[in-house]
């Protein structure tokens, strides 16, 4: 076990049971792991990164400076102590002044640990405050004015005898200016959005997304899988593309799986094999290929997988087939009983969009120039699909499948996209926090 991993495991055990003061649902360990990640991304050596994991251990746990020295050596002890406050019996002002004075003449390695700690704390503060829509310092031991004094003074000590253009220092300065001096780039707000309410709504989901990215970076999660299904012409494809762009721009590794039955692979490789089969066989064979594609993509371990019609959508088609007497009740139940556990295991959330058949048809004809009749898109077929869609909504609710159905009839695609992204962000947050809690049950190997 290398020194970074050893320090991480030690910190996990040391902070076990502790939570963030400002967000009780988050384990404390998220912060030191984030600090270590900042230092690693900045290119610092392994001892500095290890100190990032350990920087709160002496201050906030039962372990002492002597424990750090004995287990990790003098260099890491020195780095940790620089980022630790002295005797807690001192006043807040005395402790903060000690930090300001101590770091002024330290070398860059020591300053980096302090700087990364402050960056992490201020990023969390900005995220939390922008999501709430206000900056509230009432939960801090000192209010806005004293916090401003402290962070600005720390910054001045950090750049003493250093290059203030160091990316770490620049990152900290931008946060201090943003939070305490309201120095924001308002071009998008004022010029693009003309300072309207939609900008405020987008700003909140922007910072929700940033919070997710920070959470994702601290544990080894499986991909978060989103399936999209629903009535034709409800804006599903546009919404998928919007979400792909939304997450991709925040540096999430996103993979998009197209609808299997309209894919080149299906048309060229699979459909010829099934063309002479009964509908029941076709409808029960297609999910096997869909599942194979999904499992292969999960193995690649991206952050997010977006799927246009996957296993849950295939269950809708099976329900439609069953209602048309294309399979027996026993066959229908056997299918659902087989795929239900797979859907629950491999797909985190299913987003469905719904509208009535006439609205669906009107949108299709208005969006295209041709008046010829459609192969599938007619009232009967859409009504049959919608009946099965509603049946599967009930099935999902009865069996704890995470399915959310949105009515797209009297709403723009833009408005629908916002509703859906909010639901996804909320669910992803719960998924990531659950993942963090599960992962940090790990104990140090003796």
Radius of gyration in angstroms for the set of CA atoms belonging to the chain, rounded to a whole number: 27
Q: Has 60 been annotated as catalytic?
A: yes
Structure-token pair, residue 429: 């947050």
* Residues pairing with 278 in the sheet: none
Q: Do 225 and 294 form a contact (C-beta atoms < 8 A)?
A: yes
Catalytic residue among 13, 41, 56, 59: 59
- Please, which residues have CB within 8 angstroms of residue 100's CB and are 6 or more apart in sequence? 150, 153, 154, 157
Alpha carbon of 331 to those of 153, 284, 319, 337: distances in Å? 71, 10, 11, 10
Calpha distance 326→281 (Å, rounded) = 10
Alpha carbon of 306 to those of 208, 224, 339, 354: distances in Å? 19, 9, 19, 19
Q: Do 39 and 49 form a contact (C-beta atoms < 8 A)?
A: yes
- Please, which residues have CB within 8 angstroms of residue 97's CB and are 6 or more apart in sequence? none
> How many helical (H) and strand (E) elements, i.e. helices and strands, does the chain have?
21, 5
- Please, which residues have CB within 8 angstroms of residue 87's CB and are 6 or more apart in sequence? 95
Three-class SS of residue 293? helix
- Please, which residues have CB within 8 angstroms of residue 182's CB and are 6 or more apart in sequence? none
Catalytic residue among 60, 258, 356, 427: 60
- Positive or negative torsion for Cα 412, 414, 418, 421: positive
Chain-centre distance for alpha carbon 341: 24
Q: Has 59 been annotated as catalytic?
A: yes
Calpha distance 212→428 (Å, rounded) = 7
Calpha distance 115→143 (Å, rounded) = 21
- Which residue in the block uniquely carries the two structure tokens 């900290």? 172
Region at 309 (left for phi over 0; alpha for psi -120 to 50; beta for the rest): left
- For residue 138, give the H/E element and its range: none
Calpha distance 438→202 (Å, rounded) = 31
Q: Which residues belong to the active site?
A: 59-60
């Amino acid at each position: 076990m290398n020194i970074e991993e050893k320090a991480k495991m030690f910190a996990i055990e040391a902070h076990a049971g502790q939570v963030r003061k400002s967000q009780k649902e988050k384990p404390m360990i998220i912060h030191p792991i984030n600090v270590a990640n900042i230092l690693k991304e900045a290119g610092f050596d392994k001892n500095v990164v290890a100190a990032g994991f350990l920087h709160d251990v002496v201050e906030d746990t039962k372990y002492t400076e002597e424990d750090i020295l004995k287990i990790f050596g003098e260099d890491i002890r020195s780095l940790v102590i620089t980022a630790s406050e002295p005797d807690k019996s001192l006043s807040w002002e005395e402790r903060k002044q000690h930090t300001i004075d101590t770091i002024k003449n330290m070398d860059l390695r020591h300053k980096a640990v302090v700087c990364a700690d402050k960056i992490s704390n201020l990023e969390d503060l900005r995220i939390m405050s922008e999501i709430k829509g206000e900056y509230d310092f009432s939960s801090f031991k000192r209010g806005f004015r004293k916090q401003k004094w402290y962070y600005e003074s720390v910054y001045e000590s950090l750049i003493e005898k250093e290059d203030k253009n160091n990316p770490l220092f620049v990152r900290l300065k931008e946060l201090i200016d943003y939070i305490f001096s309201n120095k924001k780039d308002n071009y998008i707000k004022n010029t693009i959005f003309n300072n309207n309410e939609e900008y405020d709504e987008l700003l909140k989901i922007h910072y929700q997304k940033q919070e997710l990215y920070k959470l994702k970076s601290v544990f080894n999660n499986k991909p978060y899988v989103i399936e999209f299904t629903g009535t034709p012409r409800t804006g599903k494809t546009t919404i998928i593309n919007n979400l792909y762009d939304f997450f991709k721009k925040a540096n999430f590794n996103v993979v998009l799986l197209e609808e299997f039955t309209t894919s080149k692979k299906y048309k060229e490789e699979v459909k010829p094999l099934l063309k002479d089969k009964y509908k029941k066989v076709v409808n029960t064979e297609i999910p096997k290929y869909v599942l194979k594609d999904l499992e292969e993509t999960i193995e690649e371990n991206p952050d997010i997988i977006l799927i246009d019609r996957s296993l849950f959508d295939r269950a809708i088609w099976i329900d439609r087939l069953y209602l048309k007497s294309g399979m027996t009740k026993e066959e229908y139940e056997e299918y659902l009983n087989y795929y239900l556990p797979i859907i629950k295991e491999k797909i985190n959330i299913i987003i469905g969009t719904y509208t009535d058949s006439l609205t669906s048809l009107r949108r299709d004809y208005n969006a295209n120039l041709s008046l010829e009749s459609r192969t599938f898109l007619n009232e009967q077929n859409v009504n049959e699909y919608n009946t099965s869609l509603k049946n599967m909504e009930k099935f999902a609710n009865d069996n704890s499948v995470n399915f959310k159905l949105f009515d797209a009839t009297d709403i723009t695609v833009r408005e629908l996209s916002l509703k859906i992204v909010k639901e996804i962000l909320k669910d992803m947050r719960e998924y990531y926090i659950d993942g963090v809690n599960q992962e940090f049950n790990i104990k140090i190997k003796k």
